[in-house]
């Protein structure tokens, strides 16, 4: 009997943050982040934050507020960031073959090598809100409470 694959959520960081250090799961204050977080807490066995500054963060990992985004980063910077996250995932999770990664982040956090790197490692990548504008993303998460 084959067991179901491990499911790991990857939730993109957002601009809105507390003004003091907090666990990553509590640092980000936007409604979008909150809805993404609640979604992956229901659908995945574990999840991580994709941070523009730190790469991969565990939800309970303390982090100070910062002001960095990948939205204005160069192509090369986004590629380096993707490689950092992939190496952090390798250390944090070990082999990820047959792991399902559920990605809840914007294209600047996904399209520059992260998905390809995961798939090269044998992982399956799902991106439920791929290509949806912000309002439709919020509606999606609202409909899947």
pLDDT, position 108: 87
State the Cα–Cα distance between residues 102 and 121, nearest whole angstrom.
Answer: 15
Q: Which two tokens mark 140?
A: 């999606």
- Label each residue of the chain as H, E or C: CCCCCCEEEEEECCCCECCCCEEHHHHECCHHHHHHHHHHHHHCCEEEEEECCCEEECCCCEECCCCCCCCCCCHHHHHHHHHHHHHHHHHHHCCCCCCEEEEECCHHHCCCCHHHHHHHCCCEEECCCCCCCHHHHHHHHHHCC
pLDDT, position 144: 81
pLDDT, position 5: 86
Yes or no: say if 6 and 100 are a contact pair by the CB < 8 Å rule: yes
pLDDT, position 79: 95
- pLDDT tens sequence for the chain (145 residues): 567 789 999 999 999 999 999 999 999 999 999 999 999 999 999 999 999 999 999 999 999 999 999 988 999 999 999 999 999 999 999 999 989 999 999 888 888 899 999 999 999 999 999 989 989 998 999 888 7
pLDDT, position 1: 53
pLDDT, position 2: 60
Please, is 42 exposed, middle or buried when counting C-beta atoms within 10 Å of its C-beta (0-12, 13-18, 19+)? exposed
Task: Give this prediction's pTM.
Answer: 0.94
Any idea where the domains of the chain sit in the sequence?
7-136
């Amino acid at each position: 009997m084959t067991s179901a694959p491990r499911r790991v959520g990857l939730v993109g960081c957002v601009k809105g943050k507390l003004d003091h250090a907090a666990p990553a799961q509590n640092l980000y204050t936007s409604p979008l982040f909150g809805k993404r977080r609640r979604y992956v807490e229901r659908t995945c066995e574990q999840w991580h934050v994709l941070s523009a500054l730190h790469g991969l963060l565990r939800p309970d990992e303390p982090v100070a507020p910062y002001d960095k985004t990948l939205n204005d980063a160069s192509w090369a910077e986004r590629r380096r960031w993707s490689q950092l996250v992939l190496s952090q995932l390798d250390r944090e999770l070990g082999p990820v073959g047959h792991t399902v990664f559920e990605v809840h982040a914007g294209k600047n956090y996904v399209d520059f090598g992260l998905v390809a790197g995961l798939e090269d490692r044998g992982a399956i990548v799902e991106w439920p809100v791929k290509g949806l504008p912000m309002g439709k993303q919020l509606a999606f998460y609202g409909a899947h409470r």
